[in-house]
Amino acid sequence: MTTIAFSLNGRAVQAEVEAGTRLIDLLRESFDCTEVKEGCGEGECGACTVLLDGRPVTSCVLFAWQAHGRTVVTVAGLPKQELSRIQEAMVGQGAVQCGFCTPGFVLSIKALLDSNPTPTRGEILAAVSGNLCRCTGYERIARAVEQLTRQGGSPCAP
């Protein structure tokens, strides 16, 4: 067992982990982050996406110890205003149905817009390419991001 310490959704946390503990399991079981979903368990679907130091990663293929000394943000850790702007755009464009993939998409979109407030359609599609959606497809999601960028200013700024 190893003790790791990291920032989770803005607060300092510690945990005892075994070498093979996956980050998704630590988040769900030790910190009740049930918004982080297990889809494929292979890093292919994006349902388990979290931000690690501001970059989207699939937590099902990372070991928990890889978070040591770093910053982890789940969709529950986003500022409410920031989250609601992304969610409102997705709902407005019909880009949300079952909701299973939504947290991963929201985090991937946030990371994109933080680094590029005016992405092209190609950049939007590339940014969400690690997330699978079986309900709405990507056209509506891309339109939601484009709607955010048309609203002026940084879409994720409070």
Q: Among 82, 127, 94, 80, which Cα is nearest to 108's?
A: 127
Complete domains list, the chain, with CATH: 2-76 (3.10.20.30), 78-150 (1.10.150.120)
pLDDT digits (tens, 9 = 90+) for 89-114: 999 999 988 889 999 999 999 999 99
Give pTM, 2 decimals.
0.91
The pairing of beta strand 71-73 with beta strand 49-52 = antiparallel
Residue with tokens 């702007």: 85
pLDDT digits (tens, 9 = 90+) for 3-51: 999 999 999 999 999 999 999 999 999 999 999 999 999 999 999 999 9
Q: DSSP assignment, residue 63?
A: B
Q: How confident is the model at residue 158 (pLDDT cuts 50, 70, 90)?
A: very low
Mean pLDDT for all residues in the chain: 92
